[in-house]
Structure 1
């Protein structure tokens, strides 16, 4: 109810500030708030996914013991039944127990179907395509938060598996860069998406894209050690840097920075700081998520970005491929970036307080 009172007050405020008679889609906004208000917090939902994984592992162990593992037809049939049960459960009332059951059933279904397809000697690169098709179908039919979240992650993982199995590992940086663009879009176009027909799926897709982006950056670093050419990593790094500059423009506008000299100085300092991190796109990607979380006041994304930034900096530091001097420069550049960002924000924050 607090959210409904808040957005009603905000609409009334904007209505009073406009000279003409502006019309707002009040019904659509109220419907979006009603649909998007979660009954469980994100940690509870994550525990639900983990519970589903444990249940899937236990059920798969039961199949090994019972001998059903050797019947590919039975595996495929029970897999389809499990996925159908997950979709039916997802259409019931939002409940943590039903969420866990639906996630468990979905994961079990994908494991069974994947095992059956593998035993039928399908080409390795076609198995991820089957998973992508099934996940998209489940995503379209699912009606709750958790199944939409899990299906998005399955699609993400299947795309990565397909690129690796089809010997197209050099396309991974481009794919991760596209996820970064998608993350920026869903953050910056939140109001538009919440009033569209996909409003019910906005929150799960939003957080799933964040996890996909972070996991893609981490996997990109692991694949870089073997399959991905270092030069292809620049596609991800350049995309992240350009998106950071684009977000910086929004932040400068919000802070009412009008002096051209200040704007140019801010862009130059950010470029000088981020260029040395081009060989490690994880750092620039985490910084991108930090700025998005700051700009849109999205605490979950901000926390995930902060943790991932610490991980990527630590990973970069302990990477034996770089000399101690290179590691020190990267850490120094990241530290300078945060100090400059803090001083810049603190300066204009004090000015606004005085006003």
Structure 2
């Protein structure tokens, strides 16, 4: 059996002292809590919240929409105050589940009172926008960003020309890219640090969700928005390509890779060519932009999302080609050889420091 020394045997006591000080500075409930204890606490909080909501739904609402709105707002406000007062695992999950139930009560009451889909979605947008700033929880802020973004896009798609919703989607994508590019500076500030990560993940999830709907469920998308027209997919692709090219420029500036040199020209040409070849599948260039920023920020979750959706949108691009199966196969073979050739050219033309060209 191989001898495997412990950290206590490898490190001197003085080297362990900083970690010990940090551990002792944590609240008592965060010290050494076993993972299954946290899971059971969270499960108990959700069950308790479920029974509470059933009780309120049966005995207090009484079919009154005003009661539903007031009760929902009171429960949501109580969840915010409870979460701000205590960060224990049980309290965190209880506040989250109760807050989500309160939001549901509120929206059901709005829908029943006005009977108008637009009023309900606008109310959801306002509520989620407020919770994004006042609710101190990463998951709730992610959900608030996601639901607020989707509500905004829906309202614009229904009540404005179709191109406005596409411009808004490109604008939301730009915000996500800027948050990633400025992540280090923003997270140095305590208040902004709590907003950056859930907001950018909510915006990126919105981007991929909308593009997935328009690409794989295009018939359903047309049925939902049958009253309005639809802009060509190429317009959206070019907008997302412009955002990706801007981010590539900023990444090369930050890494001092010379965006105006041969390396920059090669990268920009490859991105532009990809966008032109996939005009009817905007998800490809959008996923490439997220992949680039995820690699730049060493974010494994973003990398995983980007790779997954590159495959998803790549399959969609393949099936959308108006070609025979033989022509599609040759196109895939040719594009693969082209990418391998481009990889060889970049490796030889721009070798990494310390590697032989």
Give TM-score scaled by structure 2 length. 0.71
Inter-partner Cα distance in structure 1 for 2:70 and 2:47: 22
Question: How far is 1:297 from its partner?
Answer: 1.8
Residue aligning to 1:199: 193
Pair 1:204–1:259, CA change in 2 (3 A): closer
Inter-partner Cα distance in structure 1 for 2:185 and 2:296: 17
The answer to whether the Cα contact below 8 Å between 1:290 and 1:301 also exists between their aligned partners in 2 is yes
Residue aligning to 1:74: 67
Pair 1:323–1:79, CA change in 2 (3 A): farther
Pair 1:149–1:272, CA change in 2 (3 A): closer
The answer to whether structure 1 residue 106 and structure 2 residue 99 are counterparts is yes
Inter-partner Cα distance in structure 1 for 2:168 and 2:71: 33
Residue aligning to 1:21: none
Inter-partner Cα distance in structure 2 for 1:159 and 1:131: 9
Q: Deviations over 1:96-149 (max 9, x none)?
A: 433322322222122111111111134322221111111122222222322222
Pair 1:268–1:141, CA change in 2 (3 A): closer
The answer to whether the Cα contact below 8 Å between 1:277 and 1:330 also exists between their aligned partners in 2 is no
2:85 is paired with a residue of what secondary structure? coil
- Aligned mate of 1:217, from 201, 208, 211: 211
Give TM-score scaled by structure 1 length. 0.71
The answer to whether the Cα contact below 8 Å between 1:103 and 1:150 also exists between their aligned partners in 2 is no
Question: How far is 1:255 from its partner?
Answer: 6.8
Question: How far is 1:177 from its partner?
Answer: 1.0
1:133-212 to 2 correspondence within 5 Å? 133-166=126-159, 168-196=161-189, 197-212=191-206
Inter-partner Cα distance in structure 1 for 2:342 and 2:319: 26
Pair 1:246–1:137, CA change in 2 (3 A): closer
Which of the two has higher C-alpha Rg?
2
Question: How far is 1:186 from its partner?
Answer: 0.5
Inter-partner Cα distance in structure 2 for 1:52 and 1:322: 53
Q: Deviations over 1:265-316 (max 9, x none)?
A: 4433332232011111111111110111112222211111111111222234
Higher relative contact order (CA 8 A, sep 6+): 1
Inter-partner Cα distance in structure 2 for 1:57 and 1:222: 35
Q: Deviations over 1:76-104 (max 9, x none)?
A: 22211221122123313434433322322
The answer to whether the Cα contact below 8 Å between 1:280 and 1:316 also exists between their aligned partners in 2 is yes
Unaligned ranges ≥5, structure 2: 1-25
1:76 is paired with a residue of what secondary structure? helix
1:308 is paired with a residue of what secondary structure? helix
1:174 is paired with a residue of what secondary structure? helix
Residue aligning to 2:289: 288
Residue aligning to 2:13: none
Inter-partner Cα distance in structure 1 for 2:89 and 2:161: 40
